Every structure is written in structure tokens, then in C-alpha cells.
Amino acid sequence: MADVSWGPQLDLGAAITESQRLLDHGDPARARDLLEAESVLAPPEELELWQGLWQLADGLEWALRGESLVAAARLRRARDLVGSYEDRPPHALDITGLLAWSAHVIDELAVTTRDPDWVPPVPRLRMP
């Protein structure tokens, strides 16, 4: 995949769609970078949401690296940030699903006898 310089170029909906594509293709680092870069376009009332979204991707990246403590910390912070949008999810985001996903991954990361081949599932950013 070609190296793409992320800047605030896409609309926010397109950034979410592209971030999901990157997550689906195993590239949470680039999804995080895109979400973080695009957050400058977010209205002030959505800033914490966008911070939480890129931290979800960051937490997934750390989990894939096997860094359970860092991943869990990032996912807890992300959950706190996106959780306040559960009753009014913008951009058709599946906040309830993201909260459930992060809780599941955090729980799995805490299991000391976890299967060594365990791979965290990919989050779904939007409602099905």
C-alpha cells in the first residue's frame, strides 16, 4: 500500500469509512493516524468523540502487539471519551457496539491464561 500523507482532507464521514477499511485490513496504526488527523475538522462538541475513536484504534494496535497493559489503558480512556455520545451518536457510529467491543477486549487482555494465539476482533465503527 502506498504511503499516504494524512491531513484534514476528507469529510468526517469519509474518514470513518476509510478508517474502517484500514481496521478491516489489519492496519489500526494508519486508522489511528487518519482519525487523529481528521479530528481537526470535527466540531468542538465532537472533539472528545474523535479523540476516543483514534484511541480505540491505538488500543487495538497495542493489543495486536501483545502489550496488554498499554492496550487496556488506551481502550479504557477511549471508552470514557466515546461513552458520552451513546445517546446521540453522530455519523451513524455504533457507540453502544464500540463500548461493548472495548469492554470485551479489555476483559480478554486481563485474562492471564488467554490463548497465546488470541487476536482481538476488529471493531465496527458504524451501526450495521
One digit per residue, the tens of pLDDT, for the chain of length 128 reads 434 455 555 588 899 999 999 999 999 999 999 999 988 888 999 999 999 999 999 999 999 999 999 999 999 999 999 999 999 999 999 999 999 999 999 999 998 787 888 899 999 999 87
What pTM, to 2 d.p., does this model score?
Answer: 0.88
d(CA 35, CA 100): 20
- Rounded to whole angstroms, the Cα distance separating 71 from 62 reads 5
CA-CA distances (angstroms) from residue 113 to 14, 32, 57, 109, 117? 39, 29, 24, 10, 11
Q: Phi, psi at residue 93, to the nearest 5°?
A: -70, 145
Residues constituting the chain:
128
**What is the CB-side half-sphere exposure of residue 21 using CA atoms within 13 A?**
8
User: Among residues of the chain, what percentage have pLDDT more than 70?
Assistant: 92
**Three-state helix/strand/coil letters over 54-95:** HHHHHHHHHHHCCCHHHHHHHHHHHHHHHHCCCCCCHHHECH
